[in-house]
Amino acid sequence: MIAAIQPSKLTGRYTAPPSKSDSHRALIGAALADGFSHVAPVVASADVEATRSALEMLEAKIQIQDNLALVQGISRTPAGHIRIHCNESGSSLRFLIPIAAAFGIEVVFTGSGKLPQRPLGVYHELFPEKGVRLKRLESDELPLKVTGQLHAGRFLLPGNVSSQFITGLMFALPLLDGDSELVLTSPLESRPYVDMTISALARFGVAVEETEQGYRVAGNQRYTPCTYRVEGDYSNAAFFAAAGLLSEQGVVIDGLAGDSRQGDREIIDLLLRFGGRVSAEGGAIRISRGKLRGIQIDASQIPDLVPILSVVGAFAEGETRIYNAHRLKLKESDRLVSTTQALRALGADAFCDDDSITVRGGKVLHSGVVSACNDHRIAMSAAIAALFCDGEVLIDGAEAVNKSYPQFYDDYNRLGGSANVRMG
């Protein structure tokens, strides 16, 4: 699909959508609990639907109505010999592989888009000596057959891998008969996502203890049902926060927890560093334009913010450099390249290497055609950049937003944007 976007200004009051990261964790915890849990609000993005469908294949019962999920947990060991399609969701895949192994059942995991090429090396290295066999059925990582019973023990892994691997193990290890240790052999990156997991587990009565070397997880723990309130999503609210920063009128954002463990809450401090005006307004945040200047940003803990921060950099005076961003090469697209290409398509001065993006701001951006590269964050970042271009911008592959934020264009237009989404 094509989104045809005219220059315009976003202003008004906006409520952040439910956190995709928190939704995954809430649904999985509820599915592993013995009894009924309520999870709300839940928005049926493609990624969250992938997790829901997978959990139902594992014999959880999940009903979603009016953004409320009623989850009946898995009451017995699933039958196994099943196929779980994770669509394009790396979280669904990496969270659920260890859970299937903890149940000791045979599962074939499949996926679409770029997911079959996304790495699973951590599990290939860890699991054979812990009783689990992973067999690639084709040349890519997927389809992947998982068989065998995961054993408790000591798991050594580098801290700079995707936090999704650590989260997957944290969900699975409490189900095993013995105690386990996660030993990190290098500094932990994306720590906030791990903190989110530990917090979510605690709400289901499962404890994870931090140690000097990593984490200790006791076995034979029981997930207990609960009522789980999903937080507002800093990652997706970041796009409208950036739009507020780039406009005189600004945007007021509701629904973001000030004490959130989401790493992407750093967007607020980063927009302040760019020179934006940020103020509290009741329980909401108002963000509006100030005198913007380029800054240096360490992306190791906030990889998902890199595309929209690069857009902000294009409108700030001077140079913005975002570094420690090597893991962006393994996202839905190579985001170092796709972000740079999107900005260049609109006339920005941007370039990248294997670990960073540099944007030299201050140029007037013009009309153009941007490929979303089947990446939701590229599509949404381009839509924000298009607000401030001197003519129409076409986003090819605009439907990529459905992966995490299906109502993005509705919210965009409601705040004053002009996005006409049509078949390409």
363 is in an annotated binding site: no
The residue with tokens 């108002």 is 286
Residue 242 in tokens = 């950036």
Cross-strand pairs, 350: 359
94 is in an annotated binding site: no
163 is in an annotated binding site: yes
Residue 257 in tokens = 């927890």
145 is in an annotated binding site: no
Tell me the one-letter amino acid at 70.
L
Helix (H, G, I), strand (E, B) or coil at 205: coil
Residue 304 DSSP class: G
162 is in an annotated binding site: yes
Which residues neighbour 259 within 8 Å (Cβ) at sequence distance 6 or greater? none
360 is in an annotated binding site: no
Residue 176 in tokens = 């095993």
Torsion (CA) 287, 291, 295, 298 in degrees, nearest 10: 0
117 is in an annotated binding site: no
377 is in an annotated binding site: yes
329 is in an annotated binding site: no
Give burial (CB, 10 Å; 0-12/13-18/19+) of 106.
Answer: middle
Strands 357-360, 319-323: pairing is antiparallel
37 is in an annotated binding site: no
Report the alpha-carbon distance of residue 155 to residue 144 in Å, rounded.
Answer: 21
Active-site entry in 47, 233, 264, 304 = 304
Give burial (CB, 10 Å; 0-12/13-18/19+) of 38.
Answer: middle
Residue 365 DSSP class: P
Backbone phi, psi, residue 21, to 5°:
-60, -45
Backbone CA torsion sign across 404, 406, 409, 411: negative
Catalytic residue list contains 304: yes
Say if CB 332 and CB 113 are below 8 A apart.
Answer: yes
Binding residues for 3-phosphoshikimate: 20-21, 25, 162-164, 190, 304, 331
Enumerate the active-site residues.
304
Binding residues for phosphoenolpyruvate: 20, 90, 118, 164, 335, 377, 403
